[in-house]
Amino acid sequence: MKQDQNYLWWQSGIIYQVYPRSFQDSDGDGVGDLCGIISRLDYLKWLGITAVWVSPIYPSPMADFGYDISDYCGIHPLFGTMDDFDKLLKEVHKRDMKLILDLVPNHTSHKHAWFEESRSSKDSPKRDWYIWQDAQEDGSEPNNWLSVFGGSAWEWDKQTEQYYYHAFLKEQPDLNWRNPEVQQAMFDVMRFWLDKGVDGFRVDVMWHMIKDEKLRDNPANPDYKAHQATYEQLIPAYSTDQPEIHNIVAKMREVTDAYEERVLIGEIYLPVHRLVTYYGQNNNGAHLPFNFTLITLDWDARSISSHVDEYEGALPEGGWPNWVIGNHDQPRITSRIGREQAKVAAMLLLTLRGTPTLYYGDELGMRDVPIPADRIQDPQGLNMPDKDLSRDPARTPMQWSEKDYAGFTTTEPWLPLPNNYQRVNVEVQKEDQYSMLSFYRRLIKLRQQEPALHVGDYQPVITSGPLVAYTREKDGKKFMVVLNLSHKPCTLKEEHQHYTGKVVLATDPEREGEAVKGSFNLYGDEGILVELAKSMAY
Ligand code: GLC
């Protein structure tokens, strides 16, 4: 791959998220593991991605499937051993790829030794490591804050007669990041993995890490709708995104920067103008505050185009953009916008300016799988059963082949497979030049071969109706991307410029090689990538 040497790997590369429970099982227990991931690294290399982010693999009671950690420096036996981890890291590096770990600093498991010590007595030296508060006079919670997973965010501890705060489950008590000892302990965790050679972290719920010092009540949300999670009843003005967070992130960045070429990614669900503050003063914050706009926006050409431009405009100088279209917390892209649009979405993700993050299985067009009531596992789904918020449908096993259990395992997997896995799987799609997988692979290859596409400049092309269009350019080479976000045909009119070039990649490969001159038509659900004639590049 001809990647531009002037850019760092996390700028010019492509990140792929592996949800370890669901990627590949190697020991026949129905749950994926580290040896399973190792056995599939050649596939990832073949696909062309350059960095693998693995969701938590640490010891955990699994109340929130690994996001409740009881030991930050170990490996859950379900996933393997530390030796397996070391092997994974070595094998990833051997293939010239990078490994990013999930870091969950906002909260621990209630079974973590820190919390057990903290809850043992009000005089515990670790009491202040968590957020403990007296009840109000009438015995009620210290304030009105709500848990993301439903109900109050405060849990009463009978033994020591105080409440503790948990933004998520009561099994996930929040650490007190105002305490310098907590900060140092977590920085040591980071160093433990960085010393091993891990290439960076995706930091869980970064915008939650510091809360208002006075713990003031959150205001009511006037726009709350009954179908939303109960958490949305309030605006989390005091429980998230506090100004002090930036100082903490800058310290995490310092820890990361003591090592060569490591990356710090932040999981942050905030509007663009607040999201970009996480790049930090003079870019001393997260390298990549995850940009979830393509997940949270309606799939509509006008709102997407204007948001891309808003984001481009809001980025601080030197701030590198990034795009995400799926993760383990959200419905899959195919289920959100439909199968027909999924290729258009892939083209958008992989041709916008900035680092793309792919979610495992999206490259096959995997759909959300309906989960029978007695198999629902996700606490978010179980706690709010009438709201349809379970994240299980997007976490089902990777579909590798037409074999039993899709080649993922040899026994009933922890979540069910869809009934179409014999058709929708890696082996079948590899052989089919029109498949989603073949499309992803060709798109990735072209992106990584062309500096204009992986690091080039972005310029919007003014369109109307259901079209999103823009150009990417570097060193005199220029591409134009035109995407039809509707099912109906439409025309790109040459209102503003006269385009001349050749289609080099298209959702329907039949179109490739076609000459483009001025206005041209697109089919419904079509996306094309045009290499513009040299004269157009200046
Ligand atoms: C993040 C994770 C999600 C988890 C939550 C609590 O949002 O992505 O899966 O449930 O944090 O740790």
Q: Do domains 9-107+180-445 and 457-537 have the same CATH topology?
A: no
CA dist 220 to 25, 235, 345, 496, Å?
Answer: 45, 6, 35, 46
Cα-to-centroid distance, 401 and ligand 1 (Å) = 30
Domain boundaries, given as residue ranges, for the chain:
9-107+180-445, 113-165, 457-537
What pLDDT score does 379 carry?
94
Sequence-separated (6 or more) residues with CB below 8 Å from residue 138: none
Work out which ligand 1 atom sits closest to the CA atom of 168. Answer: 6
Host H or E run for residue 93 = helix 82-94
Distance, in Å, from the CA atom of 369 to the CA atom of 470, rounded to the nearest integer, reads 34
Beta strands in 36-114 (DSSP E): 51-54, 98-103
* Cα of 272 vs its chain's centroid, Å: 16
Cα-to-centroid distance, 29 and ligand 1 (Å) = 24
- 220-265, pLDDT tens digit by residue? 999 999 999 999 999 999 999 999 999 999 999 999 999 999 999 9
Mean pLDDT of the region 76-90: 98
Number of Cβ atoms within 10 Å of the Cβ of 116:
15
Q: Active site includes 25?
A: no
Number of Cβ atoms within 10 Å of the Cβ of 8:
14
> Does residue 329 line the site of ligand 1, with CB under 6 A?
yes
Q: Active site includes 254?
A: no
- 448-481, pLDDT tens digit by residue? 999 999 999 999 999 989 999 999 999 999 999 9
Given a contact cutoff of 8 angstroms between Cβ atoms, the answer to whether 332 and 368 are in contact is yes
pTM of the model: 0.97
Confidence of residue 496 (pLDDT cuts 50, 70, 90): low
> β-strands 15-18, 154-157: how paired?
unpaired
Confidence of residue 538 (pLDDT cuts 50, 70, 90): very low
> Does residue 323 line the site of ligand 1, with CB under 6 A?
no
CA dist 51 to 314, 358, 439, Å?
Answer: 26, 10, 20
CA dist 309 to 347, 370, 462, Å?
Answer: 17, 36, 11
What is the topology classification, in CATH, of domain 9-107+180-445? Answer: TIM Barrel (3.20.20)
Given a contact cutoff of 8 angstroms between Cβ atoms, the answer to whether 33 and 78 are in contact is yes
Work out which ligand 1 atom sits closest to the CA atom of 67. Answer: 12
> Does residue 205 line the site of ligand 1, with CB under 6 A?
yes
Q: Whose CA is nearest to atom 5 of ligand 1?
A: 67
Cα-to-centroid distance, 66 and ligand 1 (Å) = 9
- 132-178, pLDDT tens digit by residue? 999 999 999 999 999 999 999 999 999 999 999 999 999 999 999 99
CATH code 2.60.40.1180 for 457-537: yes
Confidence of residue 494 (pLDDT cuts 50, 70, 90): confident
Host H or E run for residue 139 = none
CA atoms within 13 A on the CB side of 347: 28
**Ligand 1 pocket check: which of 58, 107, 168 to mutate, most ligand atoms within 8 Å of Cβ?**
168
Work out which ligand 1 atom sits closest to the CA atom of 380. Answer: 10
φ and ψ at 470, to 5 degrees? -160, 165
Which member of 33, 267, 363, 531 is catalytic? 267
Three-state secondary-structure class, residue 397: coil
What is the topology classification, in CATH, of domain 113-165? Answer: Oligo-1,6-glucosidase; domain 2 (3.90.400)
Cα-to-centroid distance, 362 and ligand 1 (Å) = 20
Work out which ligand 1 atom sits closest to the CA atom of 327. Answer: 8
% the chain with pLDDT above 70: 98
Q: Is the pLDDT of residue 497 over 80?
A: no
Which member of 64, 84, 171, 204 is catalytic? 204
> Does residue 204 line the site of ligand 1, with CB under 6 A?
yes
Work out which ligand 1 atom sits closest to the CA atom of 328. Answer: 9
> β-strands 98-103, 515-517: how paired?
unpaired
CA atoms within 13 A on the CB side of 226: 1
Given a contact cutoff of 8 angstroms between Cβ atoms, the answer to whether 97 and 51 are in contact is yes
- 300-346, pLDDT tens digit by residue? 999 999 999 999 999 999 999 999 999 999 999 999 999 999 999 99
Taking the alpha carbons of 249, 254, 256, 260 in that order, is the dihedral positive or negative? positive
Q: Is the pLDDT of residue 204 over 50?
A: yes
- 29-74, pLDDT tens digit by residue? 999 999 999 999 999 999 999 999 999 999 999 999 999 999 999 9
> Does residue 64 line the site of ligand 1, with CB under 6 A?
yes
Cα-to-centroid distance, 250 and ligand 1 (Å) = 22
Among residues 329, 330, 363, 327, the alpha carbon closest in space to that of 346 is found at 363
Cα-to-centroid distance, 67 and ligand 1 (Å) = 6
Confidence of residue 1 (pLDDT cuts 50, 70, 90): very low
What pLDDT score does 6 carry?
87
